[in-house]
Amino acid sequence: MTLPGTGFNAGTWLVHRHVHEGRGDRVAVRSGDAKLTYAELSDLVGTLTAALRGLGLRRDERVLFVTDDDVPMFAGILAAFCGGFVAVPVSTMLGAKELGTIIADSGASAVVAGADYGPQVEQALTMAPDVRHLVCDGDTTLPAPAGITSLTWTQLIEAGAGEPREPSATGDDSWALWLYTSGTTGAPKGAMHRHANIRHVCETYGDQVLGITPDDVCFSAAKLFFAYGIGNSMFFPLSAGAATVLEPRRTAPAVAAERARADRPTLFFGVPTFFAALLAADLPPDTFSSVRLGTSAGEALPAPLQERFTRRFGVEIIDGIGSTEALHIFLSNRPGDIRPGTTGRPVPGYDVELRDADGSPVPDGQPGSLHVKGESIALGYWRRTDASRLVFAGEWLNTGDTYVRSPDGYYTCLGRSNDLLKAGGIWVSPVEVESRLLEHPQVEEAAVVGLADEHGLDKPVACVVAAGGVTADELVQWCRDGLAAFKRPRQVIFLDRLPKTATGKIQRFRIRQFLAERTPDE
């Protein structure tokens, strides 16, 4: 395939470049028993590029994907990049109303959906007047409202007969990818990313932190519709000519172990709650023997959890923080430089500042709001001017996280800016108390929130998932022994599980709501 002579196209750079440079016979994608080489992936992406053009799509029109991590979604996103369209992968866990709101907001012209999601997609499309085409990624058509053409995957490909397969001559600033996030301001918003943003995260975190090489095999518990997942499973491996492992099923511990045995990944990407689930599962110590490095993001990785995982499975985990608005990780520990309990230091290519409420930099040792600057920052939120102005300030992104920096340059997360609480008039970080609780051998998960007492004053309350017969009094004393007395939880409440987002982040607002509605004798 001829490469464009000018501009930059992320799809060309990730796929077609490798064929052009003689690496077409290397394995690019593994999915179950199937494998695709770079040459085969390049041919499929070219075919799908022509197919999307055959639907009559024009430059910058949106193609929305609501399907599982498998070859059709993977190649379809790359084809959208190549065709100069905008890929919009969205969560498969959304209800019909939530999905319809996002489809309508994006103005998508085409939706690619899995057969399992047909009912909610059909209902969602009644809210989305701009959609003209619905494509099932299998061999059956999906029901669609009047005025929308419903196609099978084979019919989509047939639509491209005679259409050009060549990548569009996009540039650095052309739209490539919109990712929907609740971010720091509530309702879902589409963070708009350029083609150049994809290259930047690969040249910074991928090259200079992961040190990814063509011999690596990547497996991510986070799915492609997350910023974290698409970087792990697509951007980083393809940028290096490495291989990626796709898993359509929900990534439960047993599934991760199965893929680890079958595909022998060298890089494994997870979130703190998934690492905790792996520790709680009955997996042999050599499950991840092929993995040279694990990474964690999504929320702060507690030091006790990190140390337990390494001790059990022999895999070091580097904790980092990124965001949908920044596309991937911009602050991270790195191999050979891991300080448990911290998020490490800035990734090369990013500037980080901690600021007070007035926007002034804070000194080391003082908490501040985390701001980041780098070339992968989104252009803003689609159709969300007010939210964009709150979060994007010139070259800087306000992450909404509170951090503290040590004198030697390591950053420690204190939680979301609205999660900090005061006890006895002194600020308390829930992350610090949770970390102490997780040091207890019988505690599997913990979440600490502020709950008003009879005087209307917030006090730390811990919700804990624990094994064995540990008592609330024992855990309160455990915290008192390891923390300043004012930081100890005033109550410990045992739960079977903690409420989490689709990305595995603990939903503290739901815990606060549960505690507020709970009667005293429960």
405: phi then psi, degrees, rounded to nearest 5: -110, 135
Note the pLDDT tens digit of each residue in 194-235.
999 999 999 999 999 999 999 999 999 999 999 999 999 999
Residue 261 burial (C-beta neighbours within 10 Å; 0-12, 13-18, 19+): middle
Which pLDDT belongs to residue 452?
Answer: 74
Six token digits for residue 112: 């690619």
Rounded CA-CA distance 146/342 in Å is: 54
Note the pLDDT tens digit of each residue in 8-39.
999 999 999 999 999 999 999 999 999 999 99
The per-residue DSSP string of 405-444 comes to E-TTS-EEEEEETTT-EEETTEEE-HHHHHHHHHTSTTEE
227: phi then psi, degrees, rounded to nearest 5: -60, -45
- Residues pairing with 446 in the sheet: 464
Rounded CA-CA distance 116/136 in Å is: 10
Q: Looking at the chain, which residues constitute the CATH 3.40.50.980 domain(s)?
A: 10-21+33-171
310: phi then psi, degrees, rounded to nearest 5: -65, -40
Residues of the chain with pLDDT under 50: 1-5, 183-185
Q: Looking at the chain, which residues constitute the CATH 3.40.50.12780 domain(s)?
A: 193-416
Nearest Cα to Cα of residue 299 among 438, 494, 170, 395: 438
Which pLDDT belongs to residue 504?
Answer: 76
Residue 268 burial (C-beta neighbours within 10 Å; 0-12, 13-18, 19+): buried
Q: Architecture of domain 10-21+33-171 in CATH?
A: 3-Layer(aba) Sandwich (3.40)
Residue 448, H or E segment: strand 443-452
The per-residue DSSP string of 47-88 comes to HHHHHHHHTT--TT-EEEEES-SSHHHHHHHHHHHHHT-EEE
What per-residue string of b and e applies to 482-514 under the rule 16 or more CB within 10 Å gives b? bbeeebbbeebbeeeebbbbebbebebeebbeb
Fold of 193-416: Rossmann fold (3.40.50)
Rounded CA-CA distance 66/90 in Å is: 6
What per-residue string of b and e applies to 321-340 under the rule 16 or more CB within 10 Å gives b? bbbbbbbbbbbbbbeeebbb
Rounded CA-CA distance 354/361 in Å is: 6
Note the pLDDT tens digit of each residue in 302-352.
898 899 999 999 999 999 999 999 999 999 999 999 999 999 999 999 999
Question: What secondary structure letter does DSSP report for 12?
Answer: I
Instruction: Please report how the helices 38-54 and 71-83 are oriented relative to each other, as an axis angle in degrees rounded to 10.
Output: 60
Which pLDDT belongs to residue 266?
Answer: 98
Rounded CA-CA distance 445/301 in Å is: 12
Which pLDDT belongs to residue 184?
Answer: 43
Rounded CA-CA distance 75/56 in Å is: 19
Residue 475 burial (C-beta neighbours within 10 Å; 0-12, 13-18, 19+): buried
Which pLDDT belongs to residue 4?
Answer: 44
The CATH number of domain 421-517 is 1.10.287.40: no
Q: Looking at the chain, which residues constitute the CATH 3.30.300.30 domain(s)?
A: 421-517
The per-residue DSSP string of 150-174 comes to EE-HHHHHHHTTTS--SPP---TTS
